[in-house]
Amino acid sequence: MAIQQLTEEQIRDWTRAQKDEWWFRNIYRGDMPQLTLRSAFTGFLLGAVLAATSLYIGGKTGIGIGVGLTSVILSFALFRALSSSGLTRDYTILENNCTQSIATAAGYAVAPLYSSLAAYMLITDRIIPWWQMMIWIIVVAILGVLVAFPMKRRFINEEQLPFPEGRASGVVLDSLYNGDAGEGVFKARLLGWVAGATALYQASVSDGWMKVLQFKLLRMDQWAGMKEPWTLHERLDTYYYQAAVKADLWIPKILGTDIRALGLRFTLDAAMVGVGGLMGMAVATSVLLGGFINFVILAPLMIQAGDIVQRVTANGTTVPISRAEIVNQWSMWWGVTMMVVGALVGLLSKPELFTSAFKNLGKSKTPIAASGADLLADIEVPLWVSYVGVPIFSGLGAWATHAFFGVPWLLALVSLPLIFVLTVICTNAMALTSWTPTGALAKITQFTMGAIDRSNPASNLLPAGMTSEVASNAANLLSDIKPGYMLGGKPRHQAMGHVIGILAGVLACVPLYFLLFLPADAQGLRSTSTLVSEQFAMPAALQWKGVAEIIAKGLKGLPPSALVAMLVAGVSAAAIEIARIVFKGRFPLSAVSIGLGVVLPPESVFAMWLGAALFWWMGLRNKTSGTSGHRFWVEGCEPICAGLISGAALMGIGNAIINVMLG
């Protein structure tokens, strides 16, 4: 059944009161269960699990993955199976929508853990206590919810802005419940089978899972004399290098540097294959280009020139050249320049995001009171909640930023007006394009705060992190409310669900963060040196850190080659984004994606490109709708990629936990 919607003429000519009355009479399902105990509980559990996968992928790629459609499919399949077995009645469409809203909020809440907060710890060499992480993230995320609701009735009710990502969830839900439910079950099964197969593969390359299987269950350390578990190698080229040592085979080098030191490995990373499939061919190729330019061309040249060298630590230990050293000593600067300039030019090229955002906040055509009582008074979140809550949570956010991170009170308070401005821009961008330019907008706050206080990196990192998180949560909440509005749900319930999701994401992922990125050593001590590793490159944190260091230190101490590379990167990024504008988005390169390829491990970049190439090629071969190939590779692309990501991420997380427990 097609979802009812207003025509463009009605959107243009009707007052908000007329639109609200039409929605109330034709769309609203007041008697249908929505935020029930089971939808809240299911959303909480799904949100915790999917937020963990978001944290895992964010640490690897710096990319925040959306989990809305995945949670829609999983919750639908779960309760369809339970209702078929007679254990419970089937989920309503609004319960399912509420579940996806909770899970989506959980996934987005963890972003500071692999961006601004991680950058702060890298710069200050101070580990933030877990309870401070939890309080800060919860306060600023709830502030985002409170900021969003005064804008909801303008952006969604009156302007009827599209919110493409939210609309997609609404369309999928409608098709599951009012169309071919079998298609939803097929996608859920596809996701489950792929996740299961990926989990088995990931276990076979994980030392922790193999320890449990071979030593705890099969006792092979006792009867077979094994001291270390046998595992498959995720880095497939390891087999060649093992043979090369025995047979004195050729070891490939570039300008005398072993390609392994450059990070040029061939890795079958299932999660990165899935990320590439979701990323698409154009973006993945830009990322690959950035990695190729940096690690195949520039890094060997800089090593040969002596601008990238082996370091000697304070205790006399020699740190050999590696991918991490290449990025930290030289490459990060031009990569960050590429991302920042590309993001800002891309943002400034869309003036309509600014003009329409503030135009949309103008006076309504006709006050609600003109048509009598407000029909939605008992459905919408009362505006007094925001009017009271925003000042309270703004004060709490400023206090936490000052008390936990040493940001002066003045700077914490000065950053608060920027929250409103950037949130309006970010929300309008989400409404029109499903793109939230939080990274670019955060740099505005970073440079603004840095101009006031250059001495303390926290003074620009944490206020920027706060504005970014508030803007992201506000934009994503309104995107989540869009399918609820399309399907006749109560906005109050979705707002409450968003808060539940924030709590789920934080409670699940902060403890997991310490296990994955800040594990304790034999003496029980933790170090920020483990935040960035070969497994977790933390590219988003490196970008935030790079900008903060440029603000705090300027460009002093950098080799001339790095300054030249930054200049070329800035000009190139501007040229690429201008070309994208001139050719109306058809130009195949992305400056931000090229910069991302610089800070990501090349082996992960190649795995992502392989994933994108696989789905692009199979999509070309299976263009005809209705065929089994089209159903599997095109319509099933997102479930397959979600299965690859979730299966690999959950087993990878489990492996880390096992290694901690087994010592």
DSSP result, 477-540: HHHHHHHHHHHT--HHHHHHHHHHHHHHHHHHHHHHHHHHHS---TTS---GGGSS-SS---HH
The stretch 385-406 carries a mean pLDDT of: 88
Percent over 70 (pLDDT), the chain: 87
pLDDT of residue 255: 92
CA distances for 4 relative to 13, 158, 493, angstroms: 18, 16, 22
3-state SS, residue 377: coil
- Give domain status of residue 476, yes or no: yes
Q: What is the pLDDT of residue 302?
A: 94
| pLDDT number for residue 615 | 94
Amino acid at 226: M
For residue 364, name the pLDDT band (cuts at 50, 70, 90).
very low
> In the chain, helix, strand, coil percent, each to 5?
70, 0, 25
Q: How far is CA 478 from CA 317, 387, 638, in A?
A: 52, 18, 23
Share of the chain above pLDDT 90, in %: 16
| pLDDT, greater one: 610 or 104 | 610
Q: What is the mean pLDDT of residues 593-617?
A: 90
Beta bridge partners of 311: 319
In a domain, 530, yes or no: no
Instruction: Confirm whether 258 is domain-assigned.
Output: no
345, two tokens: 């030019």
The SS3 assignment for 262 reads coil
Euclidean distance between CA atoms 535 and 253, whole angstroms = 23
Q: What is the pLDDT of residue 365?
A: 45
Per-residue confidence at 164, pLDDT binned at 50, 70, 90?
A: low
CA atoms of 634 and 615, how far apart (whole Å): 8
Classify residue 159: in a domain, yes or no: yes
Write the single-letter amino acid at 613.
A
State the Cα–Cα distance between residues 373 and 20, nearest whole angstrom: 11
Evaluate whether residue 325 is within a structural domain: no
Quick one: pLDDT band at residue 368, thresholds 50, 70, 90? very low
Give the pair of three-digit tokens for residue 639: 């479930």
Q: What is the pLDDT of residue 355?
A: 54
| Residue 350: predicted pLDDT | 60
Amino acid at site 168: A
Residues of 599-626 as b/e, b for ≥16 C-beta within 10 angstroms?
bbbbbbbbbbbbbbbbbbebeeebeeee
The larger pLDDT score, comparing residue 16 to residue 505, is at: 505
For the residues 386-402, what does the mean pLDDT come to? 88
pLDDT band of residue 506 (cuts 50, 70, 90) is: very high
- Read off the pLDDT of residues 474-487 as tens digits, 9 standing for 90 and up: 888 888 888 888 88
| Whether residue 7 has pLDDT greater than 90 | no
Cα separation, 604 vs 645, in Å, equals 13
Return the pLDDT at 186: 79
Distance from C-alpha of 397 to C-alpha of 135, rounded to nearest angstrom: 9
Q: Which of 288, 285, 280 is nearest to 637 (CA)?
A: 280
- pLDDT-derived band at 441 (thresholds 50, 70, 90) equals low
Which one is predicted more confidently, 413 or 350? 413
Q: Is 447 domain-assigned?
A: no
d(CA 461, CA 396): 18
Between 181 and 654, name the one with better pLDDT: 654
Close Cβ partners of 345 (under 8 Å, ≥ 6 residues apart): 573, 574, 577, 578, 591
Residue 388 per-residue DSSP state: H
Residue 390 lies in a domain: yes
Of 100-109, 343-352, 458-467, 654-663, give the lowest mean pLDDT range: 343-352
More confident of the two residues 454 and 341: 341
pLDDT digits (tens, 9 = 90+) for 223-280: 888 888 888 888 899 999 989 888 888 889 999 899 999 989 998 889 889 888 888 8
Strands 311-312 and 318-319: antiparallel
Domain housing 388:
8-203+379-425+463-517
Instruction: Compare 446 and 247 and report the one with higher pLDDT.
Output: 247
* Amino acid type, 428: N
Stretch among 104-108, 135-139, 211-215, 400-404 having the lowest mean pLDDT: 104-108
Bridge partners of 258, per DSSP, are 253
Please provide the average confidence, as pLDDT, over all residues in the chain: 81
- The predicted structure's pLDDT at residue 649: 81
Q: Using 50, 70 and 90 to split pLDDT, how confident is the model at 53?
A: confident
Structural domains in the chain (count): 1
How many Å apart are CA 282 and CA 633, to the nearest integer?
Answer: 18
Judge whether residue 617 has pLDDT over 80: yes
